[in-house]
Amino acid sequence: MGLGGPDLSGLGSTPCSFFGTVIMGDHRSTSTLPPVDPTALFPLTDDEWQHAVKHLSLTPQQTKIVKLILHGRRDKQIAKSLSLSEATVRTHLARLFNRIGVADRVELVLLVVACARRRRPSRVR
């Protein structure tokens, strides 16, 4: 173990992957924490969602994929939902990540939420 740090061997390949697994609701996790619906952490109104889609210039297919990511879906689940191959989903994501300047799904979710929340609320009459 080396420098006397805690034993993290049961947490997956890295502590970050463990916490990502718990947050993204992987039911195979051995954690006692219940899966979390990411949309419960970052609830977006329809107006906020539409603002983010427009601000990020998402294509219709990218919009569907991002929405599924916000619901905690993995590539295989997204592919099945949209009748695509996993490779096609990964290609869409790689191109999207490159175009909007994010490195991974976490940054994507944070950017979508930030774009959505920067919109001024509509006036209620």
pLDDT at residue 89 in the model: 96
Residue 26 burial by CB count (10 A; 0-12/13-18/19+): exposed, middle or buried?
middle
pLDDT at residue 38 in the model: 57
Q: Would you write out the chain's pLDDT as a tens digit for each of its 125 residues?
A: 444 444 444 434 333 433 444 444 444 545 555 555 655 566 788 888 899 999 999 999 999 999 999 888 999 999 999 999 999 999 999 999 999 999 999 999 889 988 888 854 444 44
113 in the same domain as 59:
yes
Domain that holds residue 51: 37-125
Q: Which two tokens stand for residue 94?
A: 């790689």
- Whether this prediction's pTM lies above 0.85 is answered by no
27 in the same domain as 72:
no
7 in the same domain as 45:
no
110 in the same domain as 75:
yes
53-86 burial: b if 16+ Cβ within 10 Å, else e = bebbebeeebebbbbbbbebbbbeebbeebebee
Is 38 within 8 Å of 23 (Cβ atoms)? yes
pLDDT at residue 92 in the model: 94
31 in the same domain as 41:
no
pLDDT at residue 69 in the model: 92
Report the domain count for the chain: 2
CATH code for the domain in which residue 104 is found: 1.10.10.10
